[in-house]
Structure formats: C-alpha cells, structure tokens
C-alpha cells in the first residue's frame, strides 16, 4: 500500500502551538522534509524543523530542501522537481512522508509546490497550523477584523505603488515578508496617513517576541515579522 503525504502545519514558532494532530503524526512518521533557506551558499536553520524537534521520537529519514530566496523561480522549480521525485519513491515503497511547514501549510507555504507535483498520484492529508496572522494578533491582543470588515494579506515584496493600491481598498491589512522592505512599507503607510494605527510584531510566539508601534520598528526587520493595521469596532 502507498504511503500518505502529510502537509504538516506546525504553527508560528512556539512548540506548544503545534496541534495534537500534527504532534501525533510527527511521532510516528518515518520521513520528514523541510525547507532550509540558503544564505551566502550556506544552509541556515529551518524554523519548521526546530519547532518539530521536541515532538520527534526515534530516528527519521530527513530530507532538506535547500532554497535560495530569489525572485527568479527557475532554480526552485528544479529543486522541487527533484525532491518531489525522492518523496514519491518513499510513498511508493509504503512509507508516510511529512513536509514540515512553519505556520499554516497553505498560507504562503512551500508545501504547495510539493502538493502540486504529487497530489494527482498520491494520498495527501494537509493538517492546518496556527498562522502568523493569528499568532501576531494574539501577541498584540489586537482583534483582526470585526463585524463587516475584511482583511487584506499583502506581501511587502510588492512595489510601493502596488502596496499602496491594495491598502487603499482594504479596511484592515496584514503585511508579511518584511525584512528590508519595511522601509518601503513605512513610507507608504505614512503617505496614506495610516502609520499611527500600524503595529509591528516580530517573532510572534517565539523567544524574543516584540510588539511595537510601527514607528518604533527597526529599519531592517527580521524575516519573521509582520505589520497589522486594524480598525476594530468593539463598541
Ligand atoms: C513565507 S510566509 C509563511 C507564512 C506561514 N505559512 C503562516 O502560516 O504564517 C513567511 C512570512 O510569514 C510571517 N511570519 C511567519 N511566522 C511569523 C512569526 N512567528 N512572527 C511574525 N511573522 C511571521 C513573516 O512576515 C514572514 O516573512
């Protein structure tokens, strides 16, 4: 019998936010796969692998996906083709495989590239995880949306004009993928007169978590940081 491919959401960083279902799968799955971001040709720490650590029992086969963070998707495509073939081999031999994902697997998660390549020929079970949006809102004790409001999710990697256009049609917004893009986002929010309402949350649920008014945030934010601009109606 073929194995099952799990897309395992492991939450935003705190291992206590791993769901009971994901923890149970982690204990027994023989093969785990995770993205290792490459920086200056060297592998950095995989956050998903770190979150999983206290939940793993015994020896596992580990497959790391070395991903260079560049906008050109060509090299990533080739790596995902190779890794998906390797995963397919384990599934066909009857072994279950879990792709470990920070946050939720289907919210800007790299699991979707493996899912897309393998879903037609294998059994796939996606286990949702606590997303960075929920963790950031919780860290700031900030209602995300109330009543008839809607929420835009905006990547800070977009151009200044595109971020502005999307914010102009959004009541509330979460801006992800900050890093050095935070300067651009601060400028746009300043131009729109929305800087005062913007909250910066760094490393939500992790050691070193910070919640600050965006005006006090650093000019080169870490990768695991997010901005929330909300306008809850709680009266
Ligand atoms: C590629 S997306 C992955 C999102 C993830 N799958 C989720 O469900 O939240 C990475 C971005 O999510 C945000 N993020 C993820 N975890 C975070 C955390 N613990 N604290 C703050 N932001 C986080 C950051 O904006 C980061 O650049």
26 within a domain of the structure (yes/no): yes
Cα(94) to ligand 1 centroid in Å equals 33
**What is the value of pTM for the model shown?**
0.95
Q: Assess whether the C-beta atom of 225 lies below 6 angstroms from ligand 1.
A: yes
Residue 166 in domain: yes
71: pLDDT confidence band, cut at 50, 70 and 90?
Answer: low
Among 100, 127, 154, which residue terminates a domain?
Answer: 127
What is the bridge-based pairing of β-strands 42-43 and 97-101? unpaired
Residue 206 Cα to ligand 1 middle (Å) = 12
For residues 65 and 138, state if they share a domain.
no
CB of 201 within 6 A of ligand 1: the answer is yes
3-state secondary structure of 135: helix
Same domain membership, residue 146 and residue 70: no
Same domain, 162 and 80: no
Atom of ligand 1 nearest to the CA of 203: 20
- CA of 235 from ligand 1 middle (Å) equals 31
The reply to whether ligand 1 has any atom less than 6 angstroms from the CB of 3 is no
Is the separation of the CB atoms in 184 and 156 below 8 Å?
Answer: yes
Residue 225: pLDDT over 80: yes
Residue 149 in any domain: the answer is yes
Indicate the residue among 127, 161, 189 that finishes a domain: 127
Å from CA of 161 to ligand 1 middle: 23
Q: What is the pLDDT of residue 234?
A: 79
| Residues 138 and 122 occupy one common structural domain | no
Ligand 1 centroid from CA 147, angstroms: 25
Asked whether residue 9 falls in the same domain as residue 123, the answer is yes
Pick the more confident residue, 235 or 112: 112
Q: What is the pLDDT of residues 131-187, one digit of tens each?
A: 999 999 999 999 999 999 999 999 999 999 999 999 999 989 999 999 999 999 999
83 and 149 together in one domain: no
How many residues are present in the chain? 235
**Residue bearing the bigger pLDDT, 74 or 200:** 200
Residue 134: per-residue pLDDT: 98
Q: Whose CA is nearest to atom 24 of ligand 1?
A: 224
For residue 11 and ligand 1, the question of a CB distance below 6 A is answered with no
39 domain residue, yes or no: yes
- 235, part of any domain: no
Are 139 and 208 members of one domain? yes
Domain final residue, candidates 74, 107, 127: 127
Same domain, 137 and 123: no
User: Does one domain contain both 103 and 188?
Assistant: no
Question: In CATH, what number is assigned to the domain containing residue 33?
Answer: 3.40.1010.10
165 lines ligand 1 (CB under 6 A): no
What would the mean pLDDT of 186-212 be, rounded to a whole number? 97
99 lines ligand 1 (CB under 6 A): no
Q: Does residue 234 lie in a domain region? A: no
Three-state DSSP state, 116? helix
Q: In ligand 1, which atom is closest to the CA atom of 130?
A: 8
Residue tagged 């993928």 (tokens): 177
Task: Determine the structural domain holding residue 98 and report its residue range.
Answer: 4-127
Same domain, 159 and 175: yes
Residue 175 Cα to ligand 1 middle (Å): 10
Assess whether 105 and 62 both reside in one domain.
yes
Sign of CA dihedral 139, 206, 47, 180: positive
Q: Is 103 in the pocket of ligand 1 (CB under 6 A)?
A: yes
CA 22 / ligand 1 centre spacing (Å):
18
- What per-residue confidence (pLDDT) applies to 40? 83
Closest residue by Cα to residue 160 from 129, 183, 139: 183
Residue 63 φ/ψ, nearest 5 degrees: -120, 120
**Does one domain contain both 43 and 104?**
yes
Q: Is 171 among the domain residues?
A: yes
Count of domains forming the chain: 2
């Amino acid at each position: 019998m073929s194995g099952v491919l799990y897309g395992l959401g492991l939450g935003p960083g705190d291992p206590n936010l791993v769901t009971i279902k994901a923890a149970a799968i982690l204990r027994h799955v023989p093969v785990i796969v995770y993205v290792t971001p490459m920086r200056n040709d060297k592998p950095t720490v995989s956050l998903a692998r770190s979150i999983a650590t206290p939940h793993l029992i015994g020896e596992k086969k580990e497959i790391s996906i070395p991903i260079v963070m560049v906008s050109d998707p060509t090299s990533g495509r080739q790596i995902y083709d190779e890794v998906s073939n390797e995963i397919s081999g384990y599934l066909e031999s009857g072994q279950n495989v879990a792709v470990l994902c920070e946050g939720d697997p289907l919210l800007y998660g790299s699991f979707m590239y493996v899912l897309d390549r393998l879903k037609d020929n294998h059994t796939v079970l996606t286990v949702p995880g606590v997303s960075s949006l929920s963790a950031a809102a919780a860290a700031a004790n900030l209602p995300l949306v109330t009543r008839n409001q809607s929420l835009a999710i905006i990547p800070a990697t977009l151009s200044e004009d595109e971020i502005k256009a999307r914010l102009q049609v959004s009541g509330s917004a979460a801006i992800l993928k900050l890093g050095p893009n935070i300067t651009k986002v601060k400028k746009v929010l300043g131009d729109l007169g929305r800087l005062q309402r913007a909250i910066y949350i760094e490393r939500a649920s992790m050691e070193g978590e910070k919640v600050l008014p965006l005006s006090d945030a650093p000019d080169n934010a870490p990768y695991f940081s997010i901005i929330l601009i909300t306008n809850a109606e709680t009266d």
